[in-house]
Structure 1
Amino acid sequence: MLDNLLKRRSQYALGESLPIPKKETDRLIREAIRQAPSSFNSQSSRAVILFGKESRKFWHLVEEALRIIVPKTDFPKTQKRIGGFAAGAGTVLFFEDQSVIGELQEKFPLYAENFPIWSEHSTGMAQLAVWTTLADVGIGASLQHYNPLVDDKVAATWDLPASWKLRAQLPFGSNEAQLAEKTFIDDSHRFLTFG
């Protein structure tokens, strides 16, 4: 697993070509989410997997939402960035099902305040599982967060359940540029070991 994590990097230069068939990519995304752990085995993570035209539709929604709030002088830079995400083969939209969290809060009131926090842990693990799985087969990706800016439009466009809360977006595709080396802060600022 550590070898797979070492392959995972943010890739902003995405292309439409995939090294494996679309059906296999879809299967890997689903299986990675299925295998990601969740508190109380809640399985609260949900995903919408968009390919091609549907993925570009999502990034158009993001661009239009940003056009309203980004100053005109800065918008070309923003538009270029969004266009880079749209240039990929697809996008995974990650959600957490709030109805599952509510049910757990009712069933286990002692832990009620923790279930929303644990749900965020679950989605983070699902995101990492998918990103790492894609990286392992040579698919580039980067994790983005344009929620809640586009939440309502996404829900309406794909007719999603009201209980699904958008948490992150993962545009993916072929690696069209060399992946950057990752830098790390000094371990002494990050880790303590005892015993």
Structure 2
Amino acid sequence: MSQTFYDLQKQRRSIYALGKNVQLEKTAIVELIKNTVKEAPSAFNSQTSRVVVLFGEAHEKLWNTTLDILRNVVPADAFANTEQKINGAFKAGFGTVLFFEEQETIKNLQNQFPPYAENFPIWSEQASGIAQYAVWVALAEKGIGASIQHYNPLIDEVVAQQWGIPSSWKLRAQMPFGSIEAAAGQKEYLNDEERFKVFGA
């Protein structure tokens, strides 16, 4: 029986025990990510989301670099936990998706539609969140675990230098992914009364 969207939503979890035992070919993963981001909505169909996919040495280089940067930021007595997290939950995975938002497009839209100028950066963040979530669910459908991380802006400059990222691309999130080596823990939910209101039903 095919999975419903709700089934896939429940299947999508933050997976911190990642491995490299992914059966899907790299080319298929890239196509999955490309197609998913293409179909993700954005305000004014601005299509501001940009994506870089890292595999192999590039993936490991990202997390080694992140760890080097954090070494100068995290207190020495807490660094062991940080190192364990980076190596075990992120670097141990099969790859990483980097999500960016294209700032020049946002500026052009602000100039073109002045009444909405202050909203375009907000809508860009919304578009990025939608793209991230869509890719996360798409990976979950293939049995691939992932999580969302935010080491920006600490790593922005190094990432841009290492992979020739255009200056107008602003890093918004990192998504390490891989085989699910251990399931996520039980998820707790707020009471519906705290989150939802319905009128006129």
TM range (shorter): over 0.9
1:65 and 2:69 are equivalent in the alignment: yes
CA distance in 2, matches of 1:63, 1:132: 27
Task: Name the SS of the counterpart of 1:114 in structure 2.
Answer: helix
Determine which of 42, 45, 69 is the counterpart of 2:46.
42
The answer to whether 1:5 aligns with 2:6 is no
What's the TM-score, normalizing by structure 1? 0.98
Q: Which of 117, 121, 128 is matched with 1:116 structurally?
A: 121
Letter in 2 for 1:24: A
CA apart distance, 1:132: 0.3
Q: Structure 1: which 5+ runs fail to align?
A: none
Aligned partner of 1:152 in structure 2 is 157
Give CA-to-partner distance per residue, 1:103-127, whole Å, 9 cap, x none.
1001111100000000000000000
RMSD of aligned residue pairs (Cα, Å) = 0.7
1:4, CA displacement in angstroms? 1.3
Shift of 1:183: 1.1
Kindly provide the amino acid, as one letter, of the partner of residue 185 in structure 1. L
What code does the residue aligned with 1:194 have? F
Shift of 1:3: 1.8
Name the CA distance, whole Å, in 2 between partners of 1:181 and 1:7.
Answer: 12
Q: Runs of 5+ in structure 2 lacking a partner? A: none
Does residue 103 (structure 1) correspond to residue 72 (structure 2)? The answer is no
Per-residue deviation, 1:52: 1.3
What SS does the corresponding residue of 1:194 show, helix, strand or coil? Answer: coil
Q: Deviations over 1:14-35 (max 9, x none)?
A: 0012131111111111111111
1:179 aligns with 2:179: no
CA distance in 2, matches of 1:154, 1:81: 20
User: Deviations along 1:21-55, whole A, 9 cap, x unmatched?
Assistant: 11111111111111110000000000110011111
Q: Contact 1:19–1:138 at 8 Å: present in 2 too?
A: no
**Amino acid of the residue matched to residue 54 of structure 1?**
A
- For the pair 1:30 / 2:34, whether they are aligned, the reply is yes
Does the CA contact (< 8 Å) of 1:19 and 1:139 recur in 2?
A: no
Aligned residue in 1 for 2:96:
91
Letter in 1 for 2:159: V
Q: Secondary structure at the match of 2:187?
A: coil
Where has structure 1 moved over 3 Å in runs of 4 or more? none
Q: Which amino acid aligns with 1:69?
A: V
Check conservation: 1:15, 1:174, Cα contact below 8 A. yes
Letter in structure 1 aligned against 2:118: E
Please give the TM-score of this superposition, normalised by the length of structure 2.
0.95
Q: Give distance in 2, aligned partners of 1:46 and 1:182.
A: 30
Which residue of structure 2 lines up, in the alignment, with residue 166 of structure 1?
Answer: 171
Distance 1:149 1:89 in 2: 23
What is the total number of aligned residue pairs between the two structures?
Answer: 195
